[in-house]
């Protein structure tokens, strides 16, 4: 369950045909927002449809989030803040940590592949969506912190930990995007052990610069 699943907002008076106002689970609003955003993109998503799908009054959305862009940003931020691969604490075994990062990334991608592909396509087209970039970077920086710890312990060679994180995650992202576009098999059949071993051959402590 997402960490914000129990946050409540009060629905606008007069909603639901004059029924008594009720508390609304904001996770329902976020879920409806992400679903519609992935189905129709930024331009095709409307606050009226989000409100209908979430079962709330449209006025509630504007009162709470200010605009469609503000709502979509909040929903994406909530979703991306809950991913696990960027929250790992480093252990003593670099290979074990790399395996865990990759497995958690694949789990996250399976759960949110539609959102990842939609952001990839939509952010360059809509300046309003560029505010979600820090949420994407935050998870990458979390991976970088784990890798930096292993660099300091001698488990990985010296270098920019963010670049090391990109080298670990980016090929996995590309595999997923290619499959979504009908090119390749994506992560199906990926040997995670072999993938990590190949990464260590290029980034381990005994490899060249």
- pLDDT at position 208: 63
Handedness of CA 80, 84, 87, 90 (dihedral sign): negative
- pLDDT band at 114; cut points 50, 70, 90: confident
Confidence of residue 5 (pLDDT cuts 50, 70, 90): very low
Q: Which residues contact 145 (CB under 8 A, 6 or more apart)?
A: 90, 161
Q: What is the pLDDT of residue 99?
A: 97
Report the chain's terminal Cα–Cα distance, integer Å: 43
pLDDT, tens digit, 9 for 90 and up, residues 45-84: 999 999 999 999 999 999 999 999 999 999 999 988 878 8
The DSSP code sequence of 17-36 is: HHPPP-EEEHHHHHHHHHHH
Per-residue model confidence as pLDDT tens digits over 130-174: 888 888 888 899 999 999 999 999 999 999 999 999 999 999 988
Fold classification of 8-79 (topology level): Arc Repressor Mutant, subunit A (1.10.10)
- Give the span between the Cα atoms of 130 and 106, in whole angstroms: 24
Residue 206: its pLDDT value, please? 79
Considering the domain 83-203 in this protein, what is its CATH number? Answer: 1.10.357
Query: Is pLDDT at 105 greater than 70 in this prediction?
Result: yes
Burial status of residue 103 (CB atoms within 10 A of its CB: 0-12, 13-18, 19 or more) = middle
| Spatial separation of the C-alpha atoms in residues 139 and 86, rounded to whole Å | 4
Listed by start position, the domains of the chain span 8-79, 83-203
**Which residue carries 């052990």 as its tokens?**
193
User: Cα separations (Å) of 155 from 88, 95, 140, 200?
Assistant: 17, 9, 19, 9
pLDDT at 13: 40
On the question of pLDDT at 18 being above 70, the answer is: no
């Amino acid at each position: 369950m997402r960490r914000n699943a129990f946050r409540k907002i009060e629905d606008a008076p007069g909603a639901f045909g004059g029924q008594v106002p009720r508390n609304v689970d904001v996770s329902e609003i976020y879920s409806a927002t992400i679903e519609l955003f992935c189905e129709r993109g930024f331009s095709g998503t409307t606050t009226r449809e989000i409100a209908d799908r979430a079962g709330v009054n449209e006025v509630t959305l504007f009162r709470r989030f200010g605009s469609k862009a503000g709502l979509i940003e909040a929903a994406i931020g909530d979703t991306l803040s809950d991913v696990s691969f960027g929250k790992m604490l480093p252990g003593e075994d670099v290979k074990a940590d790399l395996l865990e990062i990759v497995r958690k990334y694949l789990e996250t991608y399976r759960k949110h592949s539609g959102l990842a592909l939609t952001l990839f396509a939509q952010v360059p087209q809509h300046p309003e969506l560029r505010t979600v970039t820090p949420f994407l970077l935050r998870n990458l920086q979390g991976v970088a912190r784990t890798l930096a710890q292993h660099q300091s312990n001698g488990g990985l060679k010296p270098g920019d930990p963010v670049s090391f994180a990109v080298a670990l995650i980016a090929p996995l992202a590309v595999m997923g995007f290619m499959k979504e576009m009908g090119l390749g098999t994506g992560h199906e059949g990926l040997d995670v052990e072999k993938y990590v071993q190949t990464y260590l051959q290029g980034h381990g402590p005994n490899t060249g610069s």
